Amino acid sequence: MSLVVQKYGGSSLSCPERIKAIAERIVGVKKKGKKVVAVVSAMGDTTDKLLNLAHQVNPYPPKRELDLLLSSGEMVSCALLTMALHGLGESAIAFSGPQVRIITDEAHTRARIQKIETRRILEELKKGKIVVVAGYQGATLKNDITTLGRGGSDITAVALAAALKADLCEICSDVEGVYTADPQIVPQARKLPRISYEEMLELASGGAQVIHLRAVEIAKKYGVRLHTRSSFNQKEGTIID
Ligand code: ASP
Ligand code: MG
């Protein structure tokens, strides 16, 4: 049975209706006979709001506590999406990053993943469950919660796909794929069906917002096949491999 890791961005989960729509989309994938691990970002602009709150109480918030605060956004969306899956009659289980032991270094607010334990996720998948993991976070060996830097849920998804030896990692967002130019600015921009890791790295370092640069680096290193596509329709996006 093939295993797909799907990452859903914040705008795909911005309200209860969208969360329920994503739950239905995930059930559709499972019904096609696939095992699914979903990695989620925080709802809408939650992370910005949390950052803003922190700066209102202290212009220089301590980074350890900032990470505790920021990680809560993804915990909310992860729990809610799992509840929505249960509402559809599916068995699903939610995990925060620390709960699945995504171990990072101690560089708060820009931590790097060092190790991921896959045992628990594999056990739950084996039981037929959909596994939902909070993106953007992990914990140090001392069990302090860390975050991976803005946009870090992509990194969680690709690192998990590598650790689980998934067949595919889908980056689902409000962007339909990789374009030859920004379609908002250049109307003739074309969606590319497929590009290489190297080409994507060049585009991402030039500021293309489809996927986090470091996530592409990890995908290249471990040979994780990526598919960036829209969360809102079933159109094929761009394969990166
Ligand atoms: N919620 C975090 C951010 O907005 C992480 C992510 O979206 O990937 O940066
Ligand atoms: Mg976000």
The predicted-structure confidence for 153-194, as pLDDT tens digits, reads as follows 999 999 999 999 999 999 999 999 999 888 788 888 899 999
CA–CA separation, 128 vs 186, rounded Å? 45
Domain segments of the chain as ranges: 3-172
Q: Which residues lie below 8 Å from residue 112, measured CB to CB, with a gap of 6+?
A: 104, 105, 148
Report how far ligand 1's centroid is from the alpha carbon of 71 (Å): 9
Q: Is the dihedral of CA 215, 220, 226, 229 positive or negative?
A: positive
CA–CA separation, 59 vs 32, rounded Å? 49
Check pocket membership of 136 for ligand 1, CB cut-off 6 A: yes
Its pTM surpasses 0.85: yes
What is the arithmetic mean of pLDDT over 189-215? 90
Question: In a mutational test of the pocket of ligand 1, which residue from 70, 75, 110, 153 has the highest number of ligand atoms less than 8 Å from its CB?
Answer: 153
pLDDT band at 207 (very low <50, low <70, confident <90, very high): confident
**Closest by Cα among 167, 150, 184 to 227:** 167
CB 14 within 8 A of CB 76: no
Q: Which residues lie below 8 Å from residue 227, measured CB to CB, with a gap of 6+?
A: 168, 169, 170, 171, 236, 237, 238, 239, 240
Task: With H, G, I as helix, E, B as strand and everything else as coil, classify residue 32.
Answer: coil
What is the arithmetic mean of pLDDT over 100-107? 98
CA–CA separation, 193 vs 145, rounded Å? 38
CA–CA separation, 22 vs 8, rounded Å? 8
**pLDDT for res 182:** 80
Q: What percentage of residues in the chain have a pLDDT greater than 70?
A: 100
State the average pLDDT for the chain: 96
Report how far ligand 2's centroid is from the alpha carbon of 50 (Å): 11
**pLDDT for res 37:** 99
Domain 3-172 class in CATH? alpha beta
Amino acid at 156: T
Q: DSSP assignment, residue 43? A: S
pLDDT at residue 66 above 90?
A: yes
Q: How far is CA 145 from CA 26, 50, 61, 103, in A?
A: 28, 16, 15, 9
Report how far ligand 2's centroid is from the alpha carbon of 19 (Å): 14
